[in-house]
Amino acid sequence: MKDAKKTVDLWYNDRKEVLQWQEERKKEAHELHCVHTLLGRARRFPLMAQANKYQKGHIERAAINTPVQVLNSFYLANQYCVSHSSIKLSLYSHVSQ
């Protein structure tokens, strides 16, 4: 367990901005009872005020993961649309000739 903690600490030591961003999301969840994605959507945590230690840890992890997961899903959906529109265009390119 000590080795795992040491590895995580070393990783964060090289990426202080990641740790700062994560701490900001936790603070946002505690103070506002929600976090916002880069696209402005909110994930609400209405039970934060009365949550126990275990539940707060779960909410904090969700507060960190939500903005990242939403951004990734938006990116993947966008790439899917782009790739399929390209395929459609190439399939019908002979029609206009």
Residue 85 pLDDT class (50, 70, 90 cuts): low
Is the Cβ–Cβ distance between 31 and 73 less than 8 Å?
Answer: no
Which two structure tokens, joined as six digits, stand for 82? 């782009």
Is the Cβ–Cβ distance between 44 and 28 less than 8 Å?
Answer: no
Q: What is the CATH number of the domain that holds 59?
A: 1.10.150.20
When pLDDT is averaged across residues 46-75 and rounded to a whole number, the result is: 89
- Residue 35 resides in a domain: yes
- Residue 30 resides in a domain: yes
Count of structural domains within the chain: 1
- Residue 77 resides in a domain: no
More confident residue, 82 or 38: 38
Please state, in angstroms and as integers, the Cα–Cα distance from residue 5 to each residue in 1, 11, 14, 41, following that order.
6, 10, 14, 33
Which two structure tokens, joined as six digits, stand for 76? 């993947």
Distance CA 12, CA 36 (A): 23
For residue 42, give the nearest of 18, 63, 21, 72 by alpha carbon: 63
pLDDT at 95 over 90: no
When pLDDT is averaged across residues 74-81 and rounded to a whole number, the result is: 70
- Residue 85 resides in a domain: no
More confident residue, 77 or 30: 30
Helix (H) or strand (E) holding 70: helix 53-91
More confident residue, 97 or 2: 2
Per the structure, the complete domain to which residue 41 belongs is given by 2-67
Please give the pLDDT value at position 37: 86
